[in-house]
A and B are shown apart, each in its own frame.
Chain A
Amino acid sequence: MQSYLMLAGVLFVVGIFGVITRRNTIGILMSLELMFNAANINLVTFNNFVTADGLSGQIFSIFIIVIAAAETTIGLAIVLLIYRNWKGIDSDCYGVMKW
């Protein structure tokens, strides 16, 4: 169990790192997916080792997968829009949210 959780933790941190550092917006999205997967691994692990009398962990994972899919869709759509408006998807370029 410990190993599984550690795998998830590291994967999560990698994801965070990606989110913080990627310049490409699509890259950020990918990193997000990594974080989602880390969370899923965690859930399934707990389901397997701790609350094995039910399947709520797995079901939650299913929902997360679905929501991740939705999120990706929207995210990509937004990326497309940004691309159209700024002719580029580098996250540094659109610092318009400041102040």
Chain B
Amino acid sequence: MTEFAYLIPLLQLLSFVMIIFFLRWKEKVSSGLAVTMSVAAWVMSVWVLIETICKYIGAHGAHVEPFEITYYLTVFPKINLEIGILVDALTAMMLLVVSTIGACVQIYSLGYMRGDKYFSRFFAYLSLFLFSMFGLVLANNFFMIFIFWELVGLTSYLLIGFYFEKKSASDAGKKAFITNRIGDLGFIIGLLLIGTYAGTFNYREVFDAVSGGVFPPEVLVVAAIGLFCGAIGKSAQFPLHVWLPDAMEGPTPVSALIHAATMVVAGVYLVARGMDIFVGSADAAFVVAAIGLITSFMAATIALTQNDIKRVLAYSTVSQLGYMIMALGLYGYDTANGIHSPGYYAGTFHLMTHAFFKGLLFLAAGSVIHAVHTNDIREMGGLLKKMPKTGWTFLVASASISGVPLTAGFFSKDEIVAAAAHHPVFYFFTLLIAFMTAFYMWRLCFMTFFGKPRDAEKFDHAHESPATMTGPLVFLGVLAVIGGWVGIPGMTGFSEFVFHGEPYHTHVDWVNILIASSVGLGGIYLAWLMYLKKAISADKIAQTFRPLYLMSLNKWWFDELYDIVFIRPILTLGRFLWTFDARVIDGLVNGVAWFTLFWAEMKQLFDTYVIDGAVNGSGWLVSNLGQALRYLQTGRVQFYTLFIVLMIIVLATFRMLPTGTWLLWTLTFLCAALLLGLIGRRTVTNTAHTESEKQA
């Protein structure tokens, strides 16, 4: 099956093309096709995963050669553009994650999007997204990953702006695309550096070049940070995180699929994929870790005070992504310094479990929104009774993300905490973030599903969602618990499958486990105290730490900051340059034209009075002469003939005369001409008389 892995994305593309061009009008058929294709992709992904696992088991710890095929798009002596497929453990894991969430979301959307104006189009876009995402995951070189990187950006843009008639939605789509592009600038610079120095984009060849010392150290740092810039954009890391919360304007299944589980982890995937480069430059790896930590902390603080259910989840996503990035960065930093760290395994493992529970959280939140038609948690409450399946799965996912023991999140988070253990600052903040995560997630749970309904009308209308929606919820709920069991410490599992360099053998570290889980449980307890038992007044705390509260509520004023610092100046610059263009450059052109005209004007004056004066003078002369000579123009051919004969005679006579006297003769000739003119005039008058007589 692995050899046919390219079919996984191509099937999705087929689905997209079919729907857009042929099946758009038949909603049932198009959604059915899309769902079928995604389920097929899921089956194939599982198959590929199993085959890959078998390969690893069969190798008994020896190095496993990944499956790779390459196809050239262009041929140059150096640096080719190529596309290809690479299937190794990381790819297989990502395939499973993407296809699982993809299939679930597609099925879920059957219910969620029912009755929408653009039902078929939605499924087409989802198929296109899955195509791009699978392509991204399967890529075997940096060029190809960039292609699909941009394509997922496009689908993200299309899907965020799916309700394009809403201004906020289209704004959010644009913001997402452009913010991502900013990150991509760095990505491109990184790619160009890699291409220039390594002469290839192929992962393996690039990594060989890195370990072979082809790159000067400072170039490697820049290249690594450049690549990471791409990840910053796509994974919504500080300082480019601003697009992700706004991206919640898209339909909720989209938020679940793209902006929680799959696309946003592409950045994490990129860092994991290019880990050799980060390992090669400790500085860059440290930047990665630091950015991850800052993002994670900042997002967690913002999530504490948000009231929009999806926004809380979005900031939670940002925070968790920061977690993964941090783990990977720490791994790179440690490995560069010769320490074998669980960071790589922890980051990728958390990527997987996070996909399950965050996808679930969003889908469940979508189900809630579907029921109560609001995003504001202050208008919810006590919904658990009304929608038990949604509620319980949401609670399971929350437990998982908070790191409640034996859930998936517990195992992965545990490893991240372990990875940060060597670095006190990181360790402290990691725990703090874990605490805050648990707190805001359960704040959300308690306010949504427990307590008394705050808006009776909405509560009354609430109902459980249809099976197409709850089915995926339950499926993901199961995964959110057992998905982490593949990485139980001390047992052979995930860490021997997805690794970088040497496999990391996990061991049970009870102290670590205790600290991590108690922090999580502590957060839940505090949330319970504040929002369910009301033992501590949230308002009072907000009053006490008002500046901090405002900072959190206003998302650290990033949007306003960017607006002032970047957007306005650029727009102003654009307008200024336009004016510059119209006034200065064009002014120059027009000025030249004006000057030419002015010069022409001057010349015309000169012409009129000086040259024309002379010309007119001679003209006057000529015209007066002509007045006389015009009588030669009798209009009668015979007269002309006669004249010709006379002239021949005259000229012949001249020819025979001595040379000196020609002037005299010419004058005579002119006089004769005038004379003839007068004769002619007389003739004309005569004729005129005759004619008038005739008419009379």
Contacts and interface: CB of A to CB of B under 8 A. Distances in A.
B611 interface: no
Contacts of B641: 16, 19-20
Interface stretch (B377-385, B547-555, B595-603, B632-640): B632-640
Q: What DSSP secondary structure best describes chain A's contact surface?
A: helix
B687 A99 contact: no
A54 interface: no
A16 B135 CA distance: 99
Interface stretch (A1-9, A43-51, A65-73, A88-96): A88-96
B273 interface: no
B647 to A, nearest CB: 13
Contact of A92 (B630, B642, B645, B687): B687
Interface string A35-77: 0000000000000000000000000000000000000000000
A97 to B, nearest CB: 4
The range of chain B's interface size is 10 to 19
Given A16-B645, A20-B645, A98 B684 contact: yes
Interface in B650-696: 684, 687, 690-691
B686 to A, nearest CB: 9
B636 A97 contact: yes
Contact of A95 (B630, B635, B642): B635
Contacts, number: 36
A28 interface: yes
A62 to B, nearest CB: 26
A98 B638 contact: no
Interface string B615-642: 0000000000000001001111110011
A20 B641 CA distance: 6
Given A16-B645, A20-B645, A92-B687, A97 B638 contact: no
Nearest to B630: A99
A97 B691 CA distance: 15
A20 B691 CA distance: 21
Contact of B636 (A16, A22, A91): A91
Nearest to B690: A92
B477 to A, nearest CB: 107
Contacts of B638: 19-22, 28, 91
Contacts of B691: 93
Nearest to B691: A93
A96 B633 CA distance: 10
Contacts of A20: 638, 641-642, 645
A99 B691 CA distance: 18
Interface in B429-451: none
B645 A99 contact: no
A17 to B, nearest CB: 9
Nearest to A99: B633
B633 A98 contact: yes
Given A98-B684, A99-B630, A91 B645 contact: no
B636 A95 contact: yes
Q: What DSSP secondary structure best describes chain B's contact surface?
A: helix
A96 B688 CA distance: 11
A10 to B, nearest CB: 15
B642 A97 contact: no
B696 to A, nearest CB: 15
Nearest to A17: B645
Contacts of A99: 630, 633, 635
B544 to A, nearest CB: 110
Nearest to B648: A16
Contacts of A28: 637-638
B153 to A, nearest CB: 81
A75 to B, nearest CB: 12
Nearest to B645: A16
A99 B687 CA distance: 15
A15 to B, nearest CB: 10
A97 B645 contact: no
B631 to A, nearest CB: 9
Nearest to A20: B642
Contacts of A22: 638
A95 B690 CA distance: 12
Contact of B635 (A16, A19, A21, A97): A97
B635 A96 contact: yes
A13 to B, nearest CB: 9
A95 B645 contact: no
A42 B637 CA distance: 26
Contacts of B687: 92, 95
Contacts of A16: 641, 645
Nearest to A96: B635
Contacts of A97: 635-637
Contacts of A91: 636-638
B690 to A, nearest CB: 8
Nearest to A92: B687
Contacts of B645: 16, 20
B483 to A, nearest CB: 106
Contacts of B690: 92
A32 to B, nearest CB: 10
A98 B637 contact: no
Q: Which of A19, A20, A99 has the most CB of B within 10 A?
A: A20
Contacts of B642: 20
Contacts of B630: 99
Q: Which of A21, A22, A92 has the most CB of B within 10 A?
A: A92
A92 B690 CA distance: 10
A19 B635 CA distance: 15
B605 to A, nearest CB: 35
Contacts of A93: 691
Nearest to B638: A20
Nearest to A97: B635
A46 B641 CA distance: 27
A36 to B, nearest CB: 15
A81 B131 CA distance: 86
Interface string B7-40: 0000000000000000000000000000000000
A89 B637 CA distance: 13
14 contacts: A16-B645, A20-B638, A21-B638, A91-B636, A91-B638, A92-B687, A92-B690, A93-B691, A95-B634, A95-B635, A95-B687, A97-B636, A98-B634, A99-B633
Task: Give me the 3 closest cross-chain CB pairs, A-B, nearest first.
Answer: A98-B635, A97-B635, A95-B635
Given A95-B636, A96-B635, 4 more contacts: A21-B638, A95-B634, A95-B687, A98-B633
